[in-house]
Amino acid sequence: MKNSRIAIVGGGPAGLMAAEVLSRAGGVQVDLFDAMPSAARKFLLAGRGGLNLTHSEPFEHFAARFGSRSSQVERWLSRFGPDQVRGWASGLGIETFVGSSGRVFPRDMKAAPLLRSWIHRLRSAGVRFHMRHRWLGWSEGDGGRHVLRFGAADGETVFEADAVLLALGGASWPRLGSDGTWVDILQRRGVDIAPLQPANCGFDVERWTPHFIERFAGQPFKSVAIAFEDRQGHRFERKGEFVVTATGIEGSLVYAVSSLLRDEIAAAGEATLWLDLLPDKSTAQVLAAVSHPRGARSLGSHLKGRLGLEGIKSAVLYEVLGSQAVHSPETLAATIKHLPIRLVAPRPIDEAISTAGGVRLEGLDDRLMCRNLPGLYVAGEMLDWEAPTGGYLLTACVASAVMAADGILAEG
């Protein structure tokens, strides 16, 4: 690959990391293209949530977060994993810390200083940035060479590269640049792509009453637990919090189970999530409390006084049970511990944190080169893997980019 021209298309974290590996190796010219006026807009948005770069849990646990793709992703992570992510940030002058949940963040919990320093280093290493260049595909009749077509401000332009690395992201938050339009282009060239689907997404419930939405949309359920079991017997149980929306639910606890819920809804048309409003109390304790004579007190003040249930937690009982709740302590206690929330649809992909589906790994070699399109490498979220939130997404994106960039260099 000496004196080769490498085109990287997509300037998110995966594309930038590939540019870093390639430019550092020397002897190649790296040109990076992106449709947007500036790079890594989704990465900057992630900074609003504190920029969870990676996770500090043991490597085996980390690698297991990628479900059916764990063994493939583990190979990338063995080359560039959570420790290397922290080392890389530190090399850019950004120290990281481990939060109480084990998640790793930059000390200032911001993405902009890291990105500024990163892009500055890449430019200094000779990477040429071509912003506002939307990749449109290959020139017809390019005879297997990589003559890429771009839509730019002053019309269409072409760029011939010796190798191409695509890092075009998924299809969530399309206004930040990743809109999944690459699916058609690659399918036309015979690349096998699993349908793009929302991952780490919210869900629509069968029904919230207008009264409940008016009072509680945007409010969190805190210190609750959820449980779900799909028809294959995959079980999920965890404590945490989530938020009520105008049409359903979203938030970290929901995202954590979202792949199971999404797949169950696709298979069965619906999924029932079970909510425990008081995970630190047993059903017997709850039953004793609700059965206690309440005299002239309303049920609401009884639940508040005896169990600390109020606000959204008390309202959701009425939402599910209606007036029956008042009459049966057994039903009431059982529902407090095991309240059904019937989900009917995942929220659309453009609202999701990330994307499942993408370029199938079976069509790629170990270095992430398309078997049927020599010289074309793929990295980042546009590959067919998914993971929960917790720093796994960014880490796997940059790890796959390092793998693909290594592959390009190894060609030489």
Contact residues: ligand FAD, CB under 6 A:
9-15, 33-36, 39, 41-43, 45-46, 49, 51-52, 134-135, 167-169, 172-173, 177-178, 181-182, 353-354, 380-381, 391, 393-394, 397
C-beta of 109 vs 344, nearer to ligand FAD: 109
Report helix angle 392-411 to 13-25, nearest 10: 30
- Closest distance of CB 276 from ligand FAD, Å: 27
C-beta of 208 vs 377, nearer to ligand FAD: 377
Locate tokens 């938030």: which residue? 251
In DSSP notation, 355-392 reads: EEEEE-GGGB-TTSBBTTSTTEEE-GGGBS----SSSH
Backbone angles phi, psi at 373, to 5 degrees: -135, 75
- Closest distance of CB 77 from ligand FAD, Å: 13
Backbone angles phi, psi at 52, to 5 degrees: -80, 95
User: What is residue 139's three-state secondary structure?
Assistant: coil
- Closest distance of CB 33 from ligand FAD, Å: 6
- Closest distance of CB 179 from ligand FAD, Å: 6
- Closest distance of CB 91 from ligand FAD, Å: 19
Residue 412 Cα to chain centre, angstroms: 34
Task: Return d(Cα 77, Cα 64) in angstroms, integer.
Answer: 11
Q: Which of 233, 256, 268, 234 is nearest to 343 (CA)?
A: 268
C-beta of 333 vs 401, nearer to ligand FAD: 401
Locate tokens 């949309």: which residue? 217
C-beta of 36 vs 256, nearer to ligand FAD: 36
Query: Distances in Å between the alpha carbon of 351 and those of 142, 172, 173, 258, 354?
Result: 37, 6, 6, 13, 9
- Closest distance of CB 159 from ligand FAD, Å: 12
C-beta of 185 vs 213, nearer to ligand FAD: 185
* Residues facing residue 239 across a β-bridge: 225
C-beta of 167 vs 321, nearer to ligand FAD: 167
Task: Return d(Cα 150, Cα 36) in angstroms, integer.
Answer: 12
